[in-house]
């Protein structure tokens, strides 16, 4: 599997809802572990994304399999890339995410759509935004009665907003570099928040019998803005955040693993790769034993 298989694995979405039960849907790290990088700017393309089809597992930190994922990415006309990631959980929950982006000199998110539903997600939400139309839509269910709210409006996307493609951003950063970009928080209207992609260390990973090096990144958003948004929405923030992403530190980088909740009030999950295996048929065993 090449590096571009992991376009969607570290996603960062923030969705707020009005009402007492409101929370923010977000994947990010809130730990200031390295000096603050420079101001946000579009990330330059170092590795062009291509056609990929990958498979993933979602585990608890104890190792229990919670669900399975599948990511399909295709290249459209010109420099447009469409990625679709789906996680199906054992408890019936669904994480369905689509993103379209361009990769002409710099990465630019063009369209984004996210659905999160089921018991694994405290917030039941659907979010979409389109750069060409300058429009967004947020559909959410609030309160114990599950009352649905829909909000639409106009919004102009900044050039360096990367909801849904943060692993791609990490794969394209020069070695040893931290960066600052932006993401959208829906409160329920869109808000632009700065996010630092922080390089914090290096670790050894095993690939079969081989040992390789991987670098660890954490995500650090503007904590003041997050506190303000969460305070307005629910009057509290989680006591602990835990969001980490490991990238293989080769000449051509690749995703290794992600740890963090898919919603800020949700449980911490581990996302990792899984390879298809050919099932052995009874007749194959007979042939191999001769």
Is residue 253 within 8 Å of residue 176, measured between CB atoms?
no
> Where in the chain are the domains?
3-273
From CA 89, how far away is CA 240, in angstroms rounded?
Answer: 24
Q: Residue-wise pLDDT tens for the chain (290 aa)?
A: 444 334 434 333 333 333 333 344 443 322 222 233 334 568 999 999 999 999 999 999 999 999 999 999 999 888 899 999 999 999 999 999 999 999 999 999 999 999 999 999 988 899 999 999 999 999 988 666 678 889 999 999 988 899 889 889 999 999 889 988 888 877 778 888 888 889 999 999 999 899 999 999 998 877 666 666 665 555 455 545 568 999 999 999 999 999 988 876 778 899 999 999 898 766 666 666 55
Would the pTM of this model clear 0.75, i.e. be above it?
yes
Is residue 152 within 8 Å of residue 137, measured between CB atoms?
yes
pLDDT at 18: 38
Residue 9 φ/ψ region, left for φ over 0, alpha for ψ in the -120 to 50 degree band, beta for the rest: alpha
- 250's CB contacts (< 8 A; 6+ apart) are 212
Distances (CA, A) of 279 to 236, 276, 282, 283: 49, 9, 10, 12
CA angle 123, 127, 130 (to 5 degrees): 165
Is residue 273 within 8 Å of residue 70, measured between CB atoms?
no
Question: DSSP readout, 31-54?
Answer: ---S-------PPBPSS----EEE
- State which H helix or E strand residue 107 sits in: strand 106-117
User: Would you give the distance in Å from CA 192 to the centre of its chain?
Assistant: 17
pLDDT at 58: 97
* Phi, psi torsion values for 60, nearest 5 degrees: -80, 170
Is residue 147 within 8 Å of residue 141, measured between CB atoms?
yes
């Amino acid at each position: 599997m090449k590096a571009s298989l992991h376009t969607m694995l570290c996603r960062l979405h923030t969705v707020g809802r009005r009402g007492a039960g409101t929370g923010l849907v977000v994947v990010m790290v809130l730990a200031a572990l390295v000096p603050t990088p420079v101001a946000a700017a579009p990330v330059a393309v170092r590795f062009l994304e291509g056609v990929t089809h990958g498979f993933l597992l979602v585990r608890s930190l104890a190792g229990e399999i919670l669900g399975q994922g599948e990511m399909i990415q295709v290249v459209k006309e010109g420099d447009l890339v469409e990625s679709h990631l789906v996680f199906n959980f054992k408890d019936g929950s669904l994480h369905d995410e689509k993103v379209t982006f361009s990769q002409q000199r710099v990465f630019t998110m063009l369209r984004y759509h996210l659905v999160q539903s089921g018991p694994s997600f405290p917030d039941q939400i659907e979010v979409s935004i389109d750069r060409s139309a300058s429009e967004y839509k947020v559909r959410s269910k609030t309160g114990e009665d599950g009352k649905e709210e829909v909000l639409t409006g106009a919004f102009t996307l900044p050039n360096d907003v990367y909801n849904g493609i943060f692993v791609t951003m990490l794969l394209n950063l020069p070695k040893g570099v931290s960066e600052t970009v932006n993401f959208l928080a829906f409160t329920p209207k869109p808000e632009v928040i700065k996010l630092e992609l922080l390089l914090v260390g290096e670790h050894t990973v095993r690939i079969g019998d081989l040992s390789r090096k991987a670098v660890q990144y954490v995500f650090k958003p503007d904590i003041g803005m997050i506190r303000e948004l969460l305070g307005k929405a629910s009057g509290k923030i989680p006591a602990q955040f835990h969001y980490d992403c490991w990238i293989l530190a080769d000449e051509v980088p690749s995703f290794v693993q992600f740890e963090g909740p898919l919603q800020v009030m949700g449980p911490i999950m581990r996302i990792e790769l899984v390879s298809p295996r050919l099932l052995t048929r009874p007749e194959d065993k007979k042939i191999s034993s001769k």
